[in-house]
Structures are given as structure tokens and as C-alpha cells.
């Protein structure tokens, strides 16, 4: 690692960038573009660096973060003291493990008390949807996003470094049904969708197609279910959309993911991220249909924790815990995301040395069966769409109304016979070892969650609290 590379990765990036830069003056800013490109090139390169070089970077970043919190926050100084954390220790990674794991409820409880808000800093507020039951306001220093996080928009291989300057000089992102208050704003146009079913209106779709073709908006950012639905209609309309699809906010089955990829003909982007942390990793194009993500190990420390709170070895599944090394306003340290997964020992065939995180989904993304057994919702969705035919489904929702009863509502693209539906019910019941009765219903409308997400699965607990 050269001195220049080390400065870029661990130093103060704003030493060579005016402090006045913000999202309002980035579009087409040649000074910013010149500053940004060496960082992007380096971030792409270090995905293939050996772990020893990454450890050198993360050790410096972790020390810098903890020192910043200790020097600027009475809250964090007291917390470090309470758990006897020694910032000067030669083994800073072991010191970090002295801090207990926290969750979203704890962040809500702390509120602004745990924030580090420096004078003059521009703060961007994000709000989690609350679909996990705990709504949260996430506060991020805009400078942190510009100098640390924006680069990861272009990290996937589908973006070639030599083509990025042209993109930074124009709007190239279409925010479909999702507003953004962060890094996408300078380079995006927003297309509102009042309801999910509005994609069924051909005039609406024609406007979307026009925006993509006439304005050269090549990057489509939307909830996964919205992109999936648009791709179904694109096939029906005979339209070839030359877009990079960024799937976010919702999981999709392997069958659905392959459908989107085959429709665009362009590698899709599927990040593992949450508002609290930003991007944790990216799915590699060779892993389409699998939940394998390359960890951005230079910006995030990922732990896999067992039910007893202890770290698990590679290839063992547990809860995912994150420490983000480049967030200062709202620090995320040993934070449980509520997701489950495991870090794999094997390396990816693509040549990256960043480890693979196999994401199993959220703890609640399972069907509960009598006797305490469970079944993966994503696997169940794959089987469902295979039997009905993904292209024949406009939208669907799985509702667990009892431990032994699931209702599946779906909007069909074409009429399916009652005999066919009964056969599919029998196949799916057999998949669940005949421990649950399944009732498939054709319906005309399925409402979205207020966040805009398609509620593909309503858990038993959610159903008992709702009026569905």
C-alpha cells in the first residue's frame, strides 16, 4: 500500500476538497470529479487485496473512530469507561468486543444523546419504515456520505471507471416510486407511484419508458417488488429496458432475481444494506440467484453471533452484527441488524478476496409450523412462483393466519383454472410436510404497506395485530 493510497483510505479526505461541497453543488462539479475518481479506482482495487492489508486499514479506521467518539462525546466516553475499553490497547479489535451488542430498540432509546453533531455540519435524516416494529430516525453527516459512502454507488463492476465522469455530469438515476434524501439526489429524477397497481396503467408505463430512453436514465432505483413488476410489464409490452436495476428494500426469490436479470440483459445490483449502516456488501454477478454478498470489509466489521452472544466461526449461521467505521454523526457500533447469515470460508470464483456473506434473511422471514418447525419464506416463494409461473402473477401476498394455515392472495395476469390452483395447493402443502393448510385466492387488489413496500409475507404475529 503506497503512502497516497493510505492517505486516501485512512486520512482526512477533505484536506483536498473544499468544505463547502454538499449535495447541492456536486452535479457536474469538475473539482469533485477529479477528487472522486482516484478514490473510486482504489475502492474497486482493494476488493482484491489480501486480508492483511485490509486489517491495516480497518485498525487505523477503528482507532480513529473510537478516539473521535471518546474526545467529542460525553455519552460515548462514559460508555467506553463503563466497559473498560482501552483505546490505546495494541489489540483494538479485542477491545471493541468488550462493548455489548445493541439493537434498534436501544438506538431509539438513546436518541440524540448518542449523536456527534459538529458545528456547521449538514445532517441528513433517514427514516426506517417501521416494518420491523421499531421505527427509527437515522441521522448522517452529509460530509460522511460524500467522502465515504457515495463511492460505493459505482463500486460494482457494471460501472467502469472510465465511464463514471460522464455520469457525474448528468442525471442518470430514475427513482421509481422512492424518494431519496441522500447521495442519489443530485443525479436522479423522481417518478411518483401513488399505488403499486399504477404500473398496470399503460400510460404510466409509457411515461416511465420515455424517461429512461429520452433522458438516458440508465440506473433504476426502486423497491425490488416494483422493479420486478415493471420487468413483467416490459416483457408484455415488448420493451427492452437498457437499465441497471438496483434491487433494494425487499428480498426476492432466486426465481424472481433471475427473471429481472434475464429481462434487462444487464447485471443487476443487489446490495446488502440498511439505513442504519449504509452498504455492507454487494452481490457478485456470478452469484445471481444466491444470497452471497462480498463484504465491504474496508468500511464495516461484520460479526456472526450465536444465541449466547458469542462470535461464531466461519460457515456457522447466526445473527449479523455490524460496526461501521466511517459514520460519525450516529455511530453504529456492534449493532445487531436483526438479520441472520454466515461468513463463508470459500472464496468467490470472481477473483475478489473479500469474504462472502451468505444472507439467510430476517429472523421473522420464516413460516412457523406446528411443533416449532419453520420454513424459509424465500424458498416458499420460489416454489410458489415456479408452480403458478412468475409471468402469470401481477402481485401476491402470503398471510400466515395460524400455525397450520396460510392464505395466498394473488392478482393473476391470466385466468388460472380452479383445478390448477387445487393442484398447486397440494404441492405446497406437501412441501410443508402437510403441517399447514394452504388456501390460494385470486383477488383484484393487494394493498402496499404505507412505506411503499409490497408486503409479500405477513407473519402470524403481524396478522394477529392487524385487520387483514
Domains of the chain with bracketed CATH? 366-465 (3.30.300.30)
Other C-beta atoms closer than 10 Å to the C-beta of 71 total 11
Q: Give the separation between CA 47 and CA 197, rounded to whole angstroms.
A: 40
pTM of the model: 0.81
pLDDT the model gives residue 450: 52
Helical ranges in 197-335 per DSSP H = 202-214, 224-237, 254-264
- In this prediction, residue 253 carries a pLDDT of 74
> Torsion over CA of 349, 355, 358 and 362, rounded to 10 degrees?
-150
Burial of 310 (0-12, 13-18, 19+ CB in 10 A): exposed
pLDDT of residue 163: 95
CA distance 220 to 342: 29
CA angle (285, 290, 294) in 5-degree steps: 55
pLDDT at 364: 60
Alpha carbon dihedral 31, 33, 39, 43, in 10-degree steps, equals 170
Chunked into runs of 10 residues, the chain (468 residues) has average pLDDT values of 84 75 92 94 94 94 95 96 96 96 92 86 74 71 89 93 96 86 86 71 92 91 85 91 83 80 88 88 82 93 93 94 93 93 91 89 74 80 84 86 93 88 94 93 77 72 73
Q: Judging by DSSP bridges, how do beta strands 244-248 and 356-362 pair with one another? A: unpaired
What does the alpha-carbon distance between residue 305 and residue 366 come to, in Å, rounded to a whole number? 19
Classify strands 374-376 and 437-442 as parallel, antiparallel or unpaired.
unpaired
Report the C-alpha gap between 138 and 18 in whole angstroms: 26
Amino acid at each position: 500500500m503506497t503512502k497516497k493510497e493510505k492517505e486516501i483510505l485512512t486520512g482526512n479526505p477533505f484536506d483536498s476538497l473544499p468544505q463547502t461541497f454538499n449535495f447541492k453543488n456536486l452535479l457536474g462539479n469538475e473539482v469533485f470529479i477529479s477528487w472522486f475518481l482516484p478514490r473510486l479506482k482504489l475502492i474497486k482495487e482493494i476488493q482484491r487485496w489480501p486480508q492483511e492489508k485490509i486489517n491495516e486499514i480497518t485498525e487505523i479506521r477503528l482507532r480513529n473512530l473510537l478516539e473521535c467518539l471518546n474526545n467529542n462525546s460525553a455519552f460515548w466516553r462514559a460508555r467506553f469507561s463503563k466497559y473498560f475499553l482501552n483505546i490505546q490497547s495494541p489489540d483494538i479489535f479485542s477491545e471493541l468486543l468488550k462493548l455489548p451488542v445493541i439493537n434498534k430498540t436501544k438506538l431509539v432509546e438513546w436518541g440524540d444523546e448518542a449523536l456527534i453533531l459538529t458545528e456547521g455540519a449538514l445532517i441528513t435524516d433517514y427514516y426506517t419504515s417501521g416494518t420491523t416494529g421499531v421505527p427509527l430516525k437515522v441521522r448522517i453527516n452529509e460530509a460522511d456520505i460524500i467522502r465515504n459512502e457515495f463511492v460505493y454507488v459505482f463500486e460494482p463492476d457494471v460501472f467502469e471507471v472510465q465511464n463514471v465522469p460522464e455520469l457525474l455530469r448528468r442525471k442518470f438515476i430514475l427513482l421509481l416510486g422512492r424518494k431519496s434524501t441522500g447521495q442519489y439526489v443530485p443525479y436522479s429524477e423522481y417518478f411518483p407511484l401513488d399505488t403499486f397497481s399504477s404500473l398496470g396503467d399503460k400510460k404510466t408505463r409509457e411515461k416511465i419508458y420515455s424517461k429512461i430512453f429520452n433522458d438516458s436514465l440508465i440506473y433504476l432505483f426502486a423497491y425490488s417488488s416494483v422493479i420486478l413488476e415493471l420487468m413483467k410489464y416490459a416483457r408484455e409490452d415488448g420493451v427492452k429496458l437498457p437499465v441497471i436495476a438496483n434491487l433494494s428494500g425487499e428480498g426476492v426469490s432466486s426465481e424472481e432475481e433471475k427473471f429481472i436479470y434475464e429481462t434487462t440483459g444487464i447485471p443487476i445490483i443487489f446490495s446488502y444494506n440498511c439505513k442504519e449502516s449504509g452498504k455492507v456488501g454487494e452481490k457478485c454477478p456470478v452469484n445471481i440467484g444466491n444470497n452471497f454478498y462480498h463484504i465491504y470489509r474496508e468500511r464495516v466489521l461484520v460479526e456472526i453471533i450465536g444465541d449466547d452472544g458469542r462470535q461464531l466461526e466461519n460457515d456457522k449461521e447466526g445473527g449479523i452484527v455490524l460496526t461501521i467505521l466511517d459514520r460519525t454523526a450516529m455511530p453504529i457500533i456492534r449493532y445487531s441488524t436483526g438479520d441472520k447469515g454466515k461468513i463463508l470460508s470459500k472464496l468467490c470464483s470472481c477473483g475478489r478476496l473479500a469474504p462472502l456473506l451468505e444472507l439467510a434473511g430476517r429472523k421473522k422471514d420464516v413460516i412457523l409450523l406446528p411443533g416449532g418447525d419453520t420454513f424459509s419464506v424465500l424458498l416458499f416463494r420460489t416454489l410458489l412462483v415456479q408452480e403458478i409461473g412468475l409471468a402469470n402473477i401481477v402481485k401476491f401476498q402470503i398471510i400466515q393466519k395460524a400455525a397450520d394455515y396460510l392464505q395466498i392472495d394473488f392478482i393473476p395476469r391470466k385466468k388460472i383454472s380452479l383445478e390448477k390452483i387445487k393442484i398447486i395447493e397440494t404441492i405446497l402443502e406437501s412441501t410443508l410436510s402437510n403441517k399447514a393448510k394452504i388456501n390460494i385466492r385470486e383477488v383484484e387488489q393487494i394493498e402496499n404497506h404505507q412505506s411503499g413496500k409490497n408486503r409479500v409475507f405477513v407473519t402470524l404475529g403481524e396478522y394477529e395485530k392487524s385487520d387483514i
